[in-house]
Chains A and B, each alone.
Chain A
Amino acid sequence: MAMSPDGKTRLDRRFDDLSAAGRAGLVTFITAGDPDTEISRRILAGLPEAGADIIELGMPFSDPMADGPAIQASSQRALKSGQTLKKTLDMVRGFRARDDATPIVLMGYFNPIYIYGAGRFLSDARDAGVDGLIVVDLPPEEDDELCLPALKAGLNFIRLATPTTDDRRLGAVLANTSGFVYYVSIAGITGTRAPDMAGVETALERLKARTRLPVAVGFGVTTVDQVRAIGKVGDAVVVGSALVNIIEKRAQAGAGAGETVDSALDFVRQLALGVKADS
């Protein structure tokens, strides 16, 4: 279970540690099962050592409406190689057996969870060592579907705030959010535009005035320079599509498993330089 005796979750503890170290966290996204279960498992296992502070693991879905071409393609590769929600939970369980500190947040769409059965999913996810959930197509208006049961089950439910989240909605968005708030730095789909730094700073000020939760910033972050710039204002920086693109390129080039894993982890090592305190 993610919750410790002091009532803090693995995510809370990780953000406490980052704050004590005076630096932002690096959050990396990969799709579970991309390009296949084995390579994906090896990348996942290597992420903490390469510098990922928090891991977002995508649950592949056939119809990822909020994702750009990179993550769409990664979902397709994963599904084609036979990935299922059950296998994704097994991956987390395997990871957790050797790493009890790095938080894992599952990210995806509601339908596979709904079909798995929300209650059964929450209990299996918690048992596997999942710390939080980001479910893109569950806005606050649908909180009773999964968010409230997840909080009850001791899992963090992380909400996205976007450039279109105005002051009227911000209260609703923050109300049942826990662990951290994910600020979507562009109005758009994942990985398609670079974030506008001035806009990010204003948005973070607005968010920080309304919540004590850490704020992670993502969608469109691709370079170590962007990681460094956003790390100066946000509590964590999320990189997804750029990492997924590396996996795609290696897979397309017919690279071996070892080479694909190394390329992905090397990229994460570079990104991690952007959040080192002395950088």
Chain B
Amino acid sequence: MSTKPPREVNSYRTGPDERGRFGIYGGRFVAETLMPLILDLEAAYEEAGKDPAFQAELDDLLAHYAGRPSPLYFAERLSGHLGGAKIYFKRDELNHTGSHKINNCLGQILLARRMNKTRIIAETGAGQHGVAVATVAARFGLPCVVFMGATDIERQKPNVFRMKLLGADVRAVTSGSGTLKDAMNEALRDWVANVADTFYIIGTAAGPHPYPAMVRDFQSVIGNEVREQIMAAEGRLPDCLVACVGGGSNAIGLFHPFLDDDEVEMFGIEAGGLGIDTPDHAASLSGGSPGVLHGNRTYLLQDDDGQILEGHSISAGLDYPGIGPEHAWLRDTGRVTYVPASDAQALDAFQLCTRLEGIIPALEPAHALAFVTQHAPALGADKILVMNMCGRGDKDVFAVAEHLGAEM
């Protein structure tokens, strides 16, 4: 199969095309029952984009409810310790609900209201997206069902309880391996059965068109803010951007506003698990191949028969066997470099950051940090690196304690 880059790229920011494709990736691979819904969604999203009142309401919520803009913080001690580039953290872990997920959820729930949908469903892996969805559903008084793999429920108990406190109905998914991909299957099944009143808030920049583009647009607030903040702090654009990728929503939100700035290098860090030469990883770009799942063509972990394999990562938010289609395309074009970081490297980086900066990162951005600890020393002291600290680590302290063999 062809994974050749497009012939010529004048801009990396014009996708997707009218078929919802980024090169060969993306598309609308869904059952007929869902087609009218995603076409309606596409139309409603286009209309909302032209309505200044929509953006104004979203901006107001982002500012006063989510707490944006999030700070751009110079991690002075970590930079000094590593001895290379100046490292900045985009502090999206300081958002309401503790991660970047709220940016997208606020956008989508405003769209749901615009479309007169009265019931919200979502899938979640680590529970960060589930918490953000339950939060906005509570804020707007809409009933909400969150599908979560039974395995993930076990390893993310604090987030499960938070969702319940917020009034969400958390449904354990036992099909498959009981993780994020199975939760997404179950959410799609629910949606097919409740088409009239239900809005599906997908948490990552994947799924059928228009989700990858829509989630990217809602998350691009991250990169747009970084642009302004780094100009104010340093008077120039950064040399290097780093973000972790599971489905890839925080990364695309950081990268997209910079894609046409050739001088800005970008790195997406995948979950390398126990190593990409083992079956236990979730690095679909480094260790997978193109296929079709959950409404889009993208890189997938799969066997020779096209059956989807389970991802593994210490981070429940990264162990998805696919990746957003725009990342697949950015990989093939070479604009963004994707690198795996292992469970062990993420754990080390988690501890280093906690001790040096007094910031407990989520295990997801701990993967990005692991790469930063290797890459920053290779850059000169005159270079600027920005990493997206997309989530805080409170939810992970139990899992980390277990991995470190510590008694709580």
Contact = CB atoms under 8 A, between A and B. Distances in A.
Interface of A: 61-69, 72, 79, 84-86, 109-117, 136-139, 141-142, 159-166, 169, 173, 184, 187-189, 192-193
A99 B193 CA distance: 38
16 contacts: A66-B33, A66-B189, A68-B189, A109-B292, A112-B305, A114-B291, A114-B292, A114-B297, A137-B30, A139-B30, A139-B35, A142-B29, A165-B32, A165-B36, A187-B192, A187-B195
Contacts of A193: 193
Contact of A141 (B19, B292, B305): B19
B237 interface: no
Contacts of B30: 137, 139
Interface in B177-230: 181-182, 185, 188-189, 192-193, 195-196
Nearest to A79: B307
Contacts, number: 117
Chain B contact patch, size range: 35 or more
Contact of B37 (A64, A66, A112, A164): A164
Contacts of A86: 305
Contacts of A111: 291-293, 300, 302, 306, 308
B275 to A, nearest CB: 23
B271 to A, nearest CB: 19
Interface of B: 1, 19, 27-37, 175-176, 181-182, 185, 188-189, 192-193, 195-196, 291-295, 297, 300, 302, 304-308
Contacts of B291: 111, 114-115
B35 A187 contact: no
A161 B32 contact: yes
A84 B306 CA distance: 9
B176 A110 contact: no
A164 B291 CA distance: 27
Given A72-B175, A116-B305, 12 more contacts: A61-B307, A65-B294, A66-B31, A66-B192, A85-B305, A109-B292, A114-B291, A160-B31, A164-B32, A165-B32, A165-B36, A189-B193
A112 B307 contact: yes
A63 B31 contact: no
Closest 4 CB pairs of A and B: A115-B306, A112-B306, A188-B193, A62-B307
B198 to A, nearest CB: 11
Contacts of B308: 62-63, 111
B28 A139 contact: yes
Nearest to B186: A65
A62 B36 CA distance: 26
B173 to A, nearest CB: 11
